[in-house]
Amino acid sequence: MVNASVITIGDELLIGQVIDTNSAFIARELNKAGIPVIRRVAVGDSGDEIWKALDEEGQHADIILITGGLGPTADDITKPLLCKYFNGKMIINGSALANVKNIFETILKRPMIERNLKQAEVPDVCKVIQNKRGTAPGMWFEKDGKVFISMPGVPHEMKGMMEEVIPLLGLRFKTGFIAHRTLLTSGAGESYLAEMIQEFEEALPSYIRLAYLPNYGMVRLRLSISGLVMGNLENELEEKFTLLQSLVNDYIVTNEDEPIESVVGKLLKKKNKTMCTAESCTGGYIAHLITSLPGSSAYFNSGIVSYSYKAKEDLLEVDEQTLLKEGAVSEAVVIAMAKGGLKKMKSDYIIAVSGIMGPGGGMTDKPVGTVWMATGKIDKIITQKFFFRFDRERNITLTAVNALNMLRKFMEENG
C-alpha cells in the first residue's frame, strides 16, 4: 500500500514560534484519499538538514510532501536546494510568471520588484503546480519511483494547493482505503474504559485497530481499518463500532468525530432553541468555540464577558452584597449570572462560569483551578463545582469543555 511522509521546513517551527498545523491538515487529506502518513519530520532552515531529510524520507515513503521555504527572501532556501538535489537548473516558468504578474498588477495593484519575479523561477526538472492563492508555485519531482512535492508553508496557500495535489496522486498511484469510526465519551477515564472493553479489544482482528485519545476530561475511542480493496471490511468495521457503542453507552457524548461545541450546536438546532453565555474566567472562550462553527447564528444569541465585579453588577444584575459576601467564584454568583444573563439576552439556555485560572489569585478555600459553573433555563438552573490543576491555558479550556458538556447533559435530561 502506497504511503507518505511529511517534511515541514522552518526555524520558526523548531523554536516554537509557529505551531505546525500543516502536517495535521495534510495527514487528514491524505487519509481521506487512502494514503497513510507513516512519518512526520520538522527541520530548520539548514541546507544540510533539509538534504538529509529528503534522503531519509525517500527511503521510507513513496510520497514525500514538503512545506515551507518557498518565499522570496534569503532565508527561503528550499527551492534552490531542491534544484540541486534533483540535478536541475533554474528557469522562468511562463504560467508561474503570469500568476505572479496577475496577483501584483490586477489584485494587489502594486508594482513588482525583481524579488517578486524570482518567484516564477523553478527547477527545469519539476512539474509546476499552480498556486491559486499566492505567488510561490508548487513543484512535483520524481526520483527512483518516489514523488516529492514541495508546497508553500503559508497554510492558506498550502490548503489550496492540496486540492490539486490529491487528484494528481490518485492518478499517479494505486491507493487503498482508510476508514475510521470515532466516538466521544465523558465521565470515565482512559484506564476505566480500557477495563470495560478489554474483552472486546482482545477479540478484535489484527486489521482493526483501537485507539484511546484522551483530552480535556473526555476520551475519544477510534476504530481504524485499512486495505487495498474495501470489500466487506468497512461493513465489519461498522459492526465492531456498533458493538463498541453498546459497551460504553452510558458514557457516550457523540458517535461522530466532532468536538463538544458541535454536539451542543446540533442539539440546539434539533430543539429549535437558542443559548447565550455569561463568562468571567474564560473571557469569552466558550462563545468563541460555539461561534467558530458555521451556522451557529441559528442558535447562539449573544455572550457577555463580565470579568470584574462591576461588570457582573452592571451587565448581569448580580447583587453587590452577594459578590462581597460569597466572592465572585461561588455558587450564588454563577446562579445570579445565569439568571441575569437569561433575562438580558433572552435565550432558552445559558452557560455561566466563574473561576480562578491561575497562576496567581488562589486562596486557601479557593485554590487555583476552582471553578463554579451554572447552566439551565429560566425555570431551572443547575450548578457544579470543579477543581482543575493545570496551567492557565489548560484550565480555561477544561472549563469551556466541561461547561458545554454540562449544558449538553442538561438539554438531554430536561428538554
> For 346-403, how does the pLDDT look when each residue is reduced to its tens digit (9 = 90+)?
999 999 999 999 999 999 999 999 999 999 999 999 999 999 999 999 999 999 999 9
Contact 123, 88 (CB under 8 A): yes
Please compute the mean of the pLDDT values over residues 303-320 and round it to a whole number: 98
Q: Which amino acid is at 259?
A: P
> For 12-64, how does the pLDDT look when each residue is reduced to its tens digit (9 = 90+)?
999 999 999 999 999 999 999 999 999 999 999 999 999 999 999 999 999 99
- The answer to whether residue 103 scores a pLDDT higher than 90 is no
> For 316-350, how does the pLDDT look when each residue is reduced to its tens digit (9 = 90+)?
999 999 999 999 999 999 999 999 999 999 999 99
With a pLDDT cut of 70, the percent of the chain lying above it is 99
Please compute the mean of the pLDDT values over residues 153-169 and round it to a whole number: 96
Q: How far is CA 379 from CA 152, 168, 258, 342, 382, in A?
A: 54, 58, 30, 10, 10
Structural domains of the chain in order of their starting residue, each with its CATH number: 4-172 (3.40.980.10), 177-254 (3.30.70.2860), 260-414 (3.90.950.20)
pLDDT for the residue numbered 299: 98
pLDDT for the residue numbered 229: 63
What does the chain come to in residues?
415
Please compute the mean of the pLDDT values over residues 194-208 and round it to a whole number: 95
Residue 238: pLDDT band with limits 50, 70, 90:
very high
